[in-house]
A and B are shown apart, each in its own frame.
Chain A
Amino acid sequence: MPYFQEYQLNMDRADTVLDALMHIRDTLDESLTLRCSCRGAICGSCGMRINGHAALACKTKVQAMVSERGVVQVEPMNNMPVIKDLVTDMAGFWDKVRQVQPWLQPAGPEPEGEYLASSESMNHLTGVMGCIMCGACVSDCAALEVDERFVGPAALAKAYRFVADPRDGAGRSRLLALNEPGGMWDCTRCMECIEVCPKGVGPMDRIMLLRSRGIQANVPSTCGSRHAEVFADLIYQKGRLDEPMLAARTFGLRNLSRLLSLLPMIFRAFVRGKVPKSGPLHRAIPGMEKIRRLFQRMEERL
């Protein structure tokens, strides 16, 4: 059974959690086991949960984490099996990365020189290439906690790196694969991956970009993509969210069993006072022109 062990030590203001762990290992308990290498937040070895959230130990200051009692709590990453102490098994993590076929698949023969590509497109990709595969986003992913099949934020960010690469020719087939269950539509947008990513990659933002590229590329609609489109359309039509309509149009009226399966949830919502008093049928709100102008302006910008 997992258990916590307490170590007592004095640290300087500037010290990181990794400094503290190495100090423990060097002077108090040689058997304390963790992965660590670069000490500079580039190798991605020392991902762990610090006070409940995934982080790199080498990039986290003790001072920022220490409680009033003087305690910092460290645990192995979540959503992956533990091997020993702070070391987790990342085999599943890498299997999912492999699943998105993470290598460049150019269209046509190689050019004589380099591929021509705009400076902006390459600079944009450096944001994703900054990912060091530390696993922090996967550790704290809420969707993965309930659905092991979800390919997860790290693999999806990696997939985006190819979809957005002007040299890659497999964009459509990549998007089709990501359109399947377990793919880009399974993210629940809890934002935790953006919070914990130590490199500012913003995995969820990349997932949203994948979704919009998917819609632009006309990949077959899914509940996920219809949900997004119907959501926008309802706002355009009525200026507010019409939830019964959203469900009906997302799942389709013919999908009666799926719609009926929502009844218990609707009932629970009703009991808890979450169904609006105006009843289930929504009318357009006053001042719709303003909302449509907002849509117009957004489309112009895109």
Chain B
Amino acid sequence: MTTSYEYDVLVMGAGLAGMRAALAAHEAGARVAIMTKVHPVRSHSNAAQGGINAAMMDRGDDWEEHAFETVKGSDYLADQDAVEILAQEAGREILTLEHMGVIFNRNEEGRLGTRRFGGQKRARTFFVSDFTGQAMLHVLFEQLMKARVPVFEEWFVTSLVKDTDGRCAGLIGFEIRTGQFALVKAKAVIIASGGLGRVFEPSTNALICTGDGMAIAYRAGAPLMDMEMVQYHPTTLKEKGLLITEAARGESAYLLNCDGERFMKRYAPNMMELASRDVVSRAEQTEINEGRGVDGCVLLDCRHLGRRLIHERLRQISEEVHSFAGIDLTKEPIPIQPGMHYQMGGIKTDVDGRCWDVHGAWAGVPGLFAAGETACLSLHGGNRLGANSLLDTVVFGRRAGRCAADYAREVPTPHVPDSTVGMEQQAISALLSRHANRDSIAAIRQEMGVAMHSHLGVFRDQEGMMTAKGTLEALRDRYSRVSVQDKGRVFNTSLIRALELGFMLDCAETIVYSALLRRESRGAHFRTDYLHRDDVEWLKHILLYRQPDGSSRVEYFPVRLTRWEPKVRIY
């Protein structure tokens, strides 16, 4: 027996992008619901620490400067029309968040205060101590409760459903608590399910970041773009890979090598520790590789910041470093290393979240939208600036929600054959009834993560990436035979981890495939066998479409330039 629901707009994921999209669609009059595998406040948006960028024109900042720095940070791979919208709408969105109740830090006059962040000359990052993401996430959830938007909480989405005409028709998933499957029909689906961090091991990302949305969109025929662009954050805690906010450097913490030298002066003499993330991560890795590290790390020194500033502005990381590494950051420097942090690529969308191609037509699945880390506009290009991801989620979450509501008004209710859910259930039953072998989901997941980190990390080359490709093929084969130990229906996290691993393998393959194609170094994609950026050949995006046999078809899109011609990038 299955249940069926019907909405105008259905959002997958309840992080910042998903909730912002749902609220916007609700305000536009759509019947909207959210499906999410964790309670909204458990979402990974929580992890964004440092802040949210906005150039407020009324206080002397300039949106064009913000836009240019974003483009420069992206190593000129960002589509500049999208970046301009981001920078122009930022101020308005900050005020909306403030009016909703976000308790942004204030200056002496009681107005919103700012701090500095990487890749930018001005202090334009608005913040709530060092838990800005959490503070925003909880406030958006407050607004969601106020608006009474229905949430399918702890529902695991297994696939995107298309109607007989190939239009997007909703999502199929099961309630984790009961194992009960349902088809949730919708005229428009917005995927906002976050990133894929766990494809890498270690990663700063939460365990739930398994690329579900990217994979189900890809399987349904939507293209994934810029997948080779994986950001390594310069400051992650040794071993565990936990994030230390860029705000520490924004508040003027230093990076030191084993000689106590502020080595960034050799790599980025002007911006020093606040150069863009790809630049700082490469500098750190170079120091470590050339023997100037400390046990595979470099040091982040906050000692000179003072107790009061740390308490007011860096409280969370101070507690985190204390409880997870036993370090008092007012007394000792913190051992840190670059760690996988963010996927710049994702489901290709236009500036209203539509999965459109460059010609302004639906690419693959009409009625499919995406927002947040799952999506790729491309806003962040080859490297995202710190504090632009929170901004991305709210600006483009809102735009996607609004546009999806408008779209839903124009199209008829989709027709889906009743057998669809049954087929999905059968596939899960088949997975559950596999006989146990010596292999395990955890083992495959771990090997995938290690291979990706070893060969698609800060430095890449052909040979390493081919090794990773081979590893993934072998893991794919093992995945087709691995069994799920827990056979029960109630809260079967063993089954969920198996399904997530399937999504992650899809994502990993697209990352490796795109990275092998791009024969240059740009942003986070740095190849030791192609050391330079090649604007003649590679000022374009790589898009991958999934073929019925599981392989990928490639398309290229030229980068959209509006006002900034590519220049040499110096920090």
Q: Which residues of A pack against B, CB within 8 Å?
A: 14, 16, 25-27, 29-31, 33-45, 59, 83-85, 87, 89-90, 94, 98, 102-104, 106, 110, 113-119, 122-123, 125-126, 129-133, 165, 167, 200
Contact = CB atoms under 8 A, between A and B. Distances in A.
A38 B45 CA distance: 10
B494 interface: yes
Contacts of A114: 95, 98-99, 104, 111-112
Contacts of B105: 119, 122-123
Contact of A41 (B320, B440, B493): B320
Contact of B131 (A42, A106, A116, A123): A42
Interface in B491-537: 491-494
B129 A126 contact: yes
Interface string B80-116: 0000000000000001001111011111111111000
A44 B146 CA distance: 22
B316 interface: yes
B44 interface: yes
Interface in B331-359: none
- Which 7 residue pairs are nearest across A and B when measured between Cβ atoms? A104-B101, A26-B442, A30-B485, A31-B486, A116-B110, A103-B142, A103-B146
B16 interface: no
A117 B106 contact: yes
Contacts of A14: 325-326
A129 B135 contact: yes
B437 interface: no
Contacts of B492: 33
B480 interface: no
Contacts of A125: 103
A42 B316 contact: yes
A42 B145 contact: no
Interface of B: 38-39, 41-44, 46-47, 58, 95, 98-101, 103-113, 128-129, 131, 134-135, 138-139, 142-143, 145-146, 177, 206-208, 240, 242-243, 312, 315-316, 319-320, 323-326, 440-443, 446, 484-486, 488, 490-494
A117 B110 contact: yes
A11 to B, nearest CB: 14
Contact of A118 (B106, B242, B243, B491): B106
A165 B38 CA distance: 29
Contact of B134 (A42, A59, A117): A42
Given A39-B242, A85-B491, 15 more contacts: A26-B443, A33-B486, A37-B207, A40-B47, A41-B319, A41-B323, A43-B42, A43-B43, A103-B142, A114-B111, A126-B103, A129-B103, A129-B135, A133-B138, A167-B101
Contact of B38 (A37, A41, A117): A37
15 contacts: A25-B442, A25-B493, A30-B441, A30-B484, A30-B494, A40-B242, A42-B46, A44-B41, A59-B323, A114-B98, A114-B112, A126-B128, A126-B135, A133-B41, A165-B101
Contacts of A119: 105-108, 110, 113
Contacts of A31: 485-486, 488, 494
A83 B47 contact: no
A123 B312 contact: yes
Nearest to B312: A123
B297 to A, nearest CB: 15
B440 A26 contact: yes
A44 B110 CA distance: 31
A126 B105 CA distance: 9
A104 B129 CA distance: 20
A24 to B, nearest CB: 11
Given A115-B98, A116-B110, A118-B106, A37 B145 contact: no
B113 A40 contact: no
A130 B242 contact: no
